[in-house]
Structure 1
Amino acid sequence: MSTKRIFSGTSPVEIMGIKNLLESEGIECFEINKSDSSYVGLLGEIEIYVDESQVEKALTALKTYKSE
């Protein structure tokens, strides 16, 4: 299985919302948290990955999310 990063950010709340959106669209995703737990939101990012076969669908869902 090959995956691709489709989003990264510093807000755990935003990441959770995006993951919920993707999962509600039937898109499996996972996150890799590269943030420093001592400085949440300041150092490092949280990345969301999906399977390459679902990248187009995920990006379309993200465009809808960002336009709202």
Structure 2
Amino acid sequence: MDKKLIYSGNSQVLVSGIKNILDEAGIAYFEINKSDSSYPGIIGQIEVLVDKTDEVKAKLLIKHIINL
């Protein structure tokens, strides 16, 4: 499976919203949490990836939440 990055940031709240949107759309995703457990939300990034075939649809679905 070829994975594509659709979000990278440090907001746990935003990632949670993105995952909910993807779940409701039936899009499988992968979360990679590179944040420091001692400083969550401050140091490190959280990445959300989807399969290449779902990339365009996923980006359209989350566009409004990322641009807040």
Number of residue pairs the alignment of both structures matches = 68
Unaligned runs of 5+ in 1: none
Q: 1:43 to 1:28 in 2, by over 3 A?
A: same
CA deviation profile, 1:7-33 (whole Å, cap 9, x unmatched): 011111211111011111111111000
Question: Partners in 2 of 1:67 and 1:36 — Cα distance?
Answer: 25
Q: Which residue of 1 aligns with 2:53?
A: 53
How large is the RMSD of aligned CA atoms in angstroms? 1.4
By how many angstroms is 1:57 displaced?
A: 0.3
- Matched residues, percent identical? 49
Structure-2 separation of matches of 1:40 and 1:63: 24
CA distance in 2, matches of 1:36, 1:66: 22
Stretches of structure 2 lacking an aligned partner (at least 5 in a row) = none
